[in-house]
Amino acid sequence: MKDKTQTTERVDALLAKMSIEEKVAQLNQIGGADWNNGPKPEEVIRKSGAGSVLWLNDTKRFNELQKIAIEESPSGIPILFALDVIHGYRTIFPVPLGMAASWDPNVAEKAQTVAAKEARAAGIHWTFGPMLDIARDARWGRIVEGAGEDPNLGSAMAAAQVRGFQGADEIDTEHVLACAKHFAGYGAADGGRDYDPVFLSEAQLRNVYFPPFKAAVDAGVGTFMSAYMDLNNVPASGNRWLLKDVLRDEWGFEGFVISDAFGVANLAVQGFAKDRKDATLRSLQAGQHMDMASSAYLENLAELVQDGLLSVEEIDEMVRPILETKVRMGLFEKPYVDEGLLEKVIALPEHREAARMAAQRSMVLLRNEGSLLPLSKTQKKVAVIGPLADSMTATEGSWMVFGHQPAAVTVLEGIRNKLPEAEIVYAPGPEIRRDIPHPFGEFDTIARKPVQTPEEAEAAFQTAVKAAQEADVVIAVMGETQDMAGEFASRGSLDLPGRQEELLKAVDALGKPIVLVLLGGRPLSINWAAEHVPAILEAWEPGTEGGNAVADILFGDVNPGGKLPVTFPRSGNHAPLYYARTLTHMPEDHERYLSRYWDGPTTPLYPFGYGLSYTNFEIKNLKLSASEIKVGETLTVTAEVSNTGNHAGDEVVQLYIHQKWGSDSRPLRELKGFERISIQAGETKQVSFQLGPDELRYWSTSAQGWIQDVAEFDVWVGSDSQATLHAGFEVVA
Ligand code: GLC
């Protein structure tokens, strides 16, 4: 890290000679795409410079615009080029929900390290990631972009991704500035409807939705992005409590905050601000440093200063962290990118190796009746069916960078690579597509096929059934297409779209061994399959090497060890559904409890933390270092894990607690520790966890503050959130 005072002095000197127009220009991020109907980037930059440019993915053009900023703008301040690099730039890794399913922070760190190296080589300085929104409603399309429903797992993934993107303290030329988004509470949109309002108590914010963001601050994240939606009727973009009181005054964040796209001007659209000028004033005073693409700051800030509604000092306070970031990233010394570098970087074999490893570790074995899996490699005839079996886009998943050409190894190709001698018959069956086209569809880089007619769909259906009929084993690759999850991609149902389940049933009736491979960015209510399809592998959207990783698992070269980072509900109507809820007066172990609904069970189809293996693990000998500790003290929890099967494999050992009473009602279970460990067949290993004030305190509604209660606790250690291996301890005064 460049010496702090040296940076401060340098920024002071810059500010001293900048006009108000130049200072305001640093608070502006220009929409660099040609569809963005703002002023042309060159004109704006030449006139007063620019804080940043986004929605551009063109190395040559980066250098062109940078040259204008350095040589033609009044103060020659370099530009930060920004883009959404969420799970890979050219080498695509599993979507973040998949990476979270690995329960291995090293997977996320490695993935974002590679993504940063490729993005920086392309000339991108700043990524709008990691996305840290806790999501407990699977209908919300952006659940794909985060780490799921739990703050403990989410915090571990947050810190790991910041380390991966930014590297160590210094953001060198192989790393990028990261951005913790969307601050805060976006995943709790009413009904899972993207952009809808959010109403969260301070306890829910502080105990559930904030922790991953705080973990990002503690890991040194350089920027934050405020969320679009109204949070308790105050849009995040104009929410001083969020952006100043919590983020800066409590957490000590010293970087800068950017709005989401057009978020400043949107304050008028949301009925919060009177007009663009009012939006500008209230957004800046709330602590939002940079305006993404709306140009409201550019148009109004200088006038607001002239009107005496804002002071130059307030403007300087917002410009300062932006300039400090540019100084510390060395942009003044090295503003340009070598235009030949990217091709060398993306050719590195270790990038695809890392992507394949990440995909392998992200996948979750949901069912394996009769140990159908792993399949033998001596299969003679394999039918690969389903609309996603050969879909590169469904394999790579949401949030591809602008201009990305799909290049993933599909499941079909992965199986062909694995079984070069076998006869592999591919039959997609009826296509699936959104009922309402995606509004971003215009940015697709591949032409969409014409809509299949009912006759064509029926013919495809029969062809797939016939292929299954003639095969020794059937592998069905089903789920959701790339645009069925992500932004603008919420849905009311969690069922398999289209005629996929119908095709599964038809194939199941043939009595053939069938494996279901799920691709997609959210939990799906595969109730029928969960009862009838013997083997089910959740592969999420596994990225460039996804098809090879699926084949590695299906044919036994890799033993799956992933666990669910989100609860799988039996229906979209049950959402939001999550494990860490309070007991209520009718706990689910109550003698009269049957279900919260009269029209079916409310239990999850698959619980948080669940995942199977080709081997078996036994977790035993749970021990606590003490049965009683004082407030503020720490106890150690240990247990043994044995691999009692005949395959080496990974187990994710999970620690849950329940505070049995207190100032507030507390969740019936809370994840407070986890470790993914590799264990050879027959081997036993020990795991240990700490339970201290950090794990036991919480923000209390009744106390209106952080407290650690004197109370009794349950402890469970096991392989998912329904673990039964139990012990207890007491916290005393
Ligand atoms: C989008 C998303 C945000 C993204 C930004 C820039 O609307 O909400 O996650 O980083 O705009 O593309």
Q: What is the pLDDT of residues 638-666, one digit of tens each?
A: 999 999 999 999 999 999 999 999 999 99
Phi/psi at 711 (5° precision): -170, 170
The per-residue pLDDT for range 664-699, each reduced to its tens digit, is 999 999 999 999 999 999 999 999 999 999 999 999
Q: Are residues 512 and 385 in the same domain?
A: yes
Q: Tell me, what's the pLDDT at 217?
A: 98
| Mean pLDDT estimate for the chain | 97
The CB of 669 under 6 Å from ligand 1? The reply is no
Query: How close is the Cα of 102 to the center of ligand 1, in Å?
Result: 25
Residue 118: CB within 6 Å of ligand 1?
no
**Pairing assessment for the beta strands 705-707 and 698-700 based on DSSP bridges:** antiparallel
- The answer to whether the CB of 145 is under 6 A from ligand 1 is no
Q: Is 269 left (phi over 0), alpha (psi -120 to 50) or beta?
A: alpha
Residue 349, both tokens:
């074999």
Q: Tell me the CA distances in angstroms from 707 to 131, 203, 381, 663, one per residue in order.
A: 28, 12, 62, 9
- CA dist 118 to 95, 343, 485, Å? 17, 9, 25
299-304 CB contacts, 8 Å cutoff, 24+ apart? 300/276, 301/20, 301/24, 301/27, 302/20, 302/21, 302/24, 303/277, 304/277, 304/280
Q: Verify whether ligand 1 is closer than 6 Å to residue 194 (CB atom).
A: no
3-state secondary structure of 32: coil
Residue nearest to atom 7 of ligand 1 (CA): 261
Going by C-beta distance under 8 Å and a sequence separation of 6 or more, which residues neighbour residue 515?
A: 372, 373, 375, 473, 474, 475, 476, 533, 534, 535, 536, 537, 554
Q: How many other β-carbons are positioned within 10 Å of the β-carbon of residue 293?
A: 25
Percent of the chain with pLDDT strictly greater than 70: 99
Residue 45, domain member (yes or no): no
Q: Burial level of 646, CB count in 10 A (0-12/13-18/19+)?
A: exposed
Q: Which amino acid is at 580?
A: A
Distance CA 180, CA 52 (A): 17
Nearest to 322 by CA among 277, 291, 282: 291
Paired with 292 in beta bridges are: 29
Mutate to test the pocket of ligand 1, among 128, 183, 228, 266 (most ligand atoms within 8 A of CB): 128
The domain tally of the chain equals 2
Which residue's C-alpha comes closest to atom 12 of ligand 1? 84
Which atom, in ligand 1's list, is nearest to the CA of 228?
A: 8
Query: Which of ligand 1's atoms lies nearest the C-alpha of 129?
Result: 10
- The rounded distance, in Å, linking the Cα atoms of 237 and 331 is 28
Domain annotation covers residue 445? yes
Q: Is the distance from the beta carbon of residue 261 to the nearest atom of ligand 1 less than 6 Å?
A: yes
The span from the CA of 613 to the CA of 242, in Å, is: 42
315-321, long-range: CB < 8 A, 24+ apart: 315/20, 315/23, 315/24, 315/27, 316/15, 316/23, 318/27, 318/256, 318/284, 318/289, 319/15, 319/18, 319/23, 319/26, 319/27, 319/289, 320/11, 320/15, 321/254, 321/255, 321/256, 321/289
- In 3D space, the residue among 371, 384, 413 whose CA is nearest the CA of residue 474 turns out to be 384
Query: Could you identify the atom of ligand 1 that is nearest to the CA of residue 131?
Result: 9
Q: Are residues 632 and 551 in the same domain?
A: no
Domain containing residue 458: CATH number: 3.40.50.1700
For every residue of 445-514, DSSP letters joined together read: SSPPPPPPPHHHHHHHHHHHHHHHHTSSEEEEEEE--GGGSSTT---S--SPPTTHHHHHHHHHTTT--E
Query: Which residues form the domain of 723?
Result: 617-732
- Reported as a pLDDT band with limits 50, 70 and 90, residue 347 is confident
Residue 722 lies in a domain: yes
Q: What is the pLDDT of residue 446?
A: 75
| 199 Cα to the center of ligand 1, angstroms | 21
CB of 62 closer than 6 angstroms to any ligand 1 atom? no
Q: Does residue 726 form part of some domain?
A: yes
Q: Please tell me the residue having the least CA distance from ligand 1 atom 1.
A: 261
Alpha helices in 329-434 (DSSP H): 341-346, 349-362, 392-396, 411-418
Indicate the angle between helix axes 546-554 and 349-362, nearest 10 degrees.
Answer: 50
**Which atom, in ligand 1's list, is nearest to the CA of 292?**
6
Cα-to-centroid distance, 525 and ligand 1 (Å): 28
Residues 651 and 557 in one domain: no
Percent of the chain with pLDDT over 90: 95
The DSSP secondary-structure symbol of 564 reads -
> Is the minimum distance from the CB of 104 to ligand 1 under 6 angstroms?
no
Q: Which atom of ligand 1 has the smallest separation from the CA of 128?
A: 10
**From the CB of 150, is ligand 1 less than 6 Å away?**
no
- 637 shares a domain with 540: no
Q: What is the pLDDT of residue 36?
A: 65
pLDDT band at 3, cuts 50/70/90? confident
Provide the pLDDT for residue 660. Answer: 98
Domain membership of residue 263 (yes or no) is no
Residue in 514, 512, 562, 725 with CA at minimum distance from that of residue 99? 562
Q: Which residues pair with 126 in a beta bridge?
A: 82, 177
Token pair in block for residue 236: 């995040």
If we measure between CA atoms, which residue out of 8, 589, 571, 606 comes closest to residue 323?
8
Write out pLDDT tens, residues 166-186: 998 889 999 999 999 999 999
Residue 555 and residue 692 in one domain: no
Among positive and negative, which fits the CA dihedral 241, 246, 247, 248? Answer: positive
Indicate if 526 and 658 belong to the same structural domain: no
pLDDT tens-digit series, residues 440-473:
877 777 777 889 999 999 999 999 999 999 999 9
In this structure, are 629 and 570 located in the same domain? no
Q: Is residue 339 very low, low, confident or very high in pLDDT (cuts 50, 70, 90)?
A: very high
Instruction: Mark which of 540, 574, 608 sits at the end of a domain.
Output: 574
pLDDT at site 2: 56
Is the same domain home to 538 and 678?
no
Of 588 and 448, the structure prediction assigns the larger pLDDT to: 588
Return the residue whose CA atom lies nearest to atom 3 of ligand 1. Answer: 260
Which residues 6+ apart lie within 8 Å of 197 measured at CB? 189, 190, 229, 230, 233
Residue bearing the CA closest to ligand 1, atom 10: 128
Residue 260 CA to ligand 1 center (angstroms) comes to 6
**What 3 state SS string does 253-277 have?**
CCCEEECCCCHHHHHHHCCCCCCHH
pLDDT of residue 636: 98
pLDDT above 60 for 1: no
- Residue 716 located in a structural domain: yes
181 lines ligand 1 (CB under 6 A): yes
- CA end-to-end span of the chain: 43
Say yes or no: 668 and 543 in one domain: no
187 in Cβ contact with 209 (< 8 Å) = yes
Show which of 542, 574, 606 is a domain's final residue: 574
Nearest atom, ligand 1, residue 145 CA: 9
Q: 254 falls in which pLDDT band (50, 70, 90)? A: very high
Q: Is residue 78 part of a domain?
A: no
Q: Tell me the mean pLDDT in the region 562-570.
A: 98
> pLDDT tens digits for 85-125?
999 999 999 999 999 999 999 999 999 999 999 999 999 99
pLDDT in tens, 217-238: 999 999 999 999 999 999 999 9
User: Which pair of structure tokens corresponds to residue 664?
Assistant: 């507030």
465, 352: one domain: yes
Domain boundary among 523, 556, 574: 574
**CA–CA distances in Å: residue 272 to residues 226, 235, 287, 304, 339:** 15, 7, 16, 18, 44
670 lines ligand 1 (CB under 6 A): no
Residues 655, 553: one domain?
Answer: no
Q: Tell which one of 127, 229, 260, 262 to mutate to probe ligand 1, the residue whose CB is within 8 A of the most ligand atoms.
A: 260
Distance (Å) from CA 458 to ligand 1 centroid: 39
Q: Which of 112, 142, 143 is nearest to 127 (CA)?
A: 112
- Centre of ligand 1 to C-alpha 225, Å, is 9
- State the DSSP string of 228-258: SSEETTEEGGG-HIIIIIIIIIIT---SEEE
Torsion-angle region of 710 (φ positive above 0: left; ψ -120 to 50: alpha; else: beta): beta
Residue nearest to atom 8 of ligand 1 (CA): 260
Ligand 1, residues 56, 269, 290, 487: which to mutate, most atoms within 8 A of Cβ?
487
Query: Residue 253 has what pLDDT?
Result: 98
> 582: how many CB neighbours lie within 10 A of its CB?
11
174 domain-assigned: no
**Tens-place pLDDT, residues 8-45:** 999 999 999 999 999 999 999 999 887 766 678 999 99
Q: Classify residue 714 by burial, with Cβ atoms within 10 Å: 0-12, 13-18, 19+.
A: middle
Is 236 close to ligand 1, i.e. is its CB under 6 Å away?
A: no
Q: How many Å lie between the centroid of ligand 1 and the Cα of residue 118?
A: 20
Same domain, 528 and 379: yes
Q: Is 260 a catalytic residue?
A: yes
Tokens 């919590």 sit on residue: 246
- 487 Cβ below 6 A of ligand 1: yes
Catalytic residue among 133, 137, 194, 260: 260
646: domain CATH number is 2.60.40.10
Q: Helix (H, G, I), strand (E, B), or coil: what is residue 53?
A: strand
pLDDT tens, position by position, 487-531:
999 999 999 999 999 999 999 999 999 999 999 999 999 999 999
